[in-house]
Amino acid sequence: MQVAIVGQGYVGLPLAIAAANVGHHVVGIDTNPKQIALLLRGLSPIGDISDSDISAVIASEHYRATDNFQSVSTAEIVIICVPTPLDSAYNPDLSFLESALKSIAPHLTTDSLVIIESTVAPGTTRNLVAELLTKSGKPFDLAYSPERIDPANSTWNVTNTPKLVAGLSEQATMRAVSFYRSFVETVTTGSSLEVIETAKLLENSFRLVNISFINEVAQFCAALKIDVREVVDAAATKPYGFMPFYPSAGVGGHCIPVDPKYLSSKADEIGVPSRFIDLAHEINLSLPSYFAGVATGMLGSLKDKKILVVGIAYKPDVADSRETPAAGIITALRTAGAVVSWHDDFVNEWKNETSAPLTDTYDLAILVNPHTHCDLTLLATTPVLNTRGGY
């Protein structure tokens, strides 16, 4: 099949490589010139895809990258994989999605199949997306199939993670299923677009609520001076009715802090409660203040204290710093007068600052998301506050 995938980041690029590997002819479209420049040189901008992965599909002539939306005119399937973040007021921001739709609309061919993989609130595909595409004046099929990408997960990837699909019509559903089944092991259909849109939001709202809950339990355990991770592992010996979640400095990344707000925003719109999500979000936002308080308790005062935050990425072993929980902690520490540096050799540069080395010259080190290879012994006798639990 001739496929155009808009967005060549953590979602769109692995999808493009997987489709190209089974023989589809894929053009990856991205408006970021640096991203395209890297791809044209056979270099990967993300950790989950290697340079050799890209070079191989380029050499096979099953993949090319461009910033030109004219390429959509030769595609029978067009997939949108752009970010749908939150704005500064924590409300859904669909500007990237709307821009992508307006860019592809003039180039759609007769009976193009458009698939949305970006996370959206229920009703968005049927209403906003369909309305914008209708302006192209050409008939099209429309489907929704939410991404399920977990960066740095060595077990689950594009091909073995079950895919959810629903179409605006039965024909759209079957066309999308036919495409995904060519390289995804398990594809499940829903009875409507809204079912699958809501399923995506439920997945990550479930995680937000449980992570926020375990972060409260972690504070309880800290007060008792017991190891919360040992408590969780003990509870996890129960073979049914329990799923382990572990504490952290807060949720981060492109999904867990964001997707539940799409659900709660829709709940507000239709007049139903979403109190668990609102409370979980509130708990998540309170964690920087909590850990700044713990640091104050350890040092007596934070004023002029040298503190190193270890791990700027939103999770270990990735270079993605979107919605990183480290940001709130650094802000809280600096507000209290601390002199804060950070170390992360995956990220290296962040907010016009650069990674500092691991040394024993600090008054305190705060572990947020240390990477697997991070040599914490270099901190020597530096006091350590581990936001991930444990002693």
Q: pLDDT by residue (tens digit) across 324-382? A: 999 999 999 999 999 999 999 999 999 999 999 999 999 999 999 999 999 999 999 99
Chain mean pLDDT for the chain: 95
Q: What percent of the chain has pLDDT over 90?
A: 94
Q: Above 80 in pLDDT, residue 390? A: no
pLDDT at 172: 98
| Per-residue pLDDT at 254 | 83
CA proximity to 101, closest of 67, 72, 122, 65: 72
- Does some domain include residue 196? no
Domain shared by 53 and 112, yes or no:
yes
For residue range 284-300, what is the model confidence (pLDDT) as tens digits?
999 999 999 999 999 99
Domain's final residue, options 167, 191, 215: 191
The residues pairing with 29 across neighbouring beta strands, listed in sequence order, are 6, 66
Burial group, residue 252, by CB count within 10 angstroms (0-12, 13-18, 19+) = buried
> Does any domain span residue 169?
yes
**What local confidence, expressed as pLDDT, does residue 90 receive?**
87
Given pLDDT bands bounded at 50, 70 and 90, which one contains residue 391? low
pLDDT band at 110 (very low <50, low <70, confident <90, very high): confident
Is 66 a residue whose pLDDT tops 90? Answer: yes
Specify whether 324 is located in the same domain as 214: yes
Residue range(s) defining the domain that contains residue 66:
2-191
Same domain, 167 and 235: no
**Angle between helix 275-299 and 193-224 (nearest 10):** 30
Give the residue-averaged pLDDT of 22-30: 98
Distance spanning both ends of the chain, measured CA to CA: 54
Report the alpha-carbon distance of residue 351 to residue 324 in Å, rounded: 12
Same-domain status, 209 and 344: yes
pLDDT of residue 155: 95
82: left (phi over 0), alpha (psi -120 to 50) or beta: beta
97/144 same-domain check: yes
User: Do 95 and 8 lie in a common domain?
Assistant: yes
Angle, helices 275-299/325-335, rounded to nearest 10 degrees? 50
Query: Does residue 93 sit in the same domain as residue 142?
Result: yes
pTM, two decimals, is 0.93
Domain end marker among 191, 225, 248:
191
pLDDT in tens, 148-195: 999 889 899 999 999 999 999 999 999 999 999 999 999 999 999 999
186 with 235, same domain: the answer is no
Q: Which of 81, 221, 255, 374 is catalytic?
A: 255
391 located within any domain? no
Q: Are residues 163 and 285 in the same domain?
A: no
Q: What is the pLDDT at residue 358?
A: 96
- The reply to whether 287 and 382 lie within a common domain is yes
Q: In the chain, what percentage of residues exceed pLDDT 70?
A: 99
Range 65-93 average pLDDT: 95
* Residue 385 scores a pLDDT above 90: yes
Domain annotation covers residue 255: yes
- Written as one letter, the residue type at 333 is L
Q: Is 214 contained in some domain?
A: yes
Domain-ending residue, one of 166, 191, 216: 191
Q: Identify the pLDDT of residue 220.
A: 95
Task: Indicate if 300 and 368 belong to the same structural domain.
Answer: yes
- Note whether residue 223 is domain-resident: yes
Rg value, the chain, Cα: 23
Number of domains making up the chain: 2
Residue 357 φ/ψ, nearest 5 degrees = -75, 160
Whether 198 is in a domain gets the answer no
Mean pLDDT of 229-242: 97
Q: Residue 125's pLDDT band (boundaries 50, 70, 90)?
A: very high
Same domain, residue pair 183 and 266: no
Kindly report the CATH number assigned to the domain that includes residue 321: 3.40.50.720
CA atoms of 389 and 219, how far apart (whole Å)? 9
| 255: annotated active-site residue | yes
Q: Is 350 domain-assigned?
A: yes
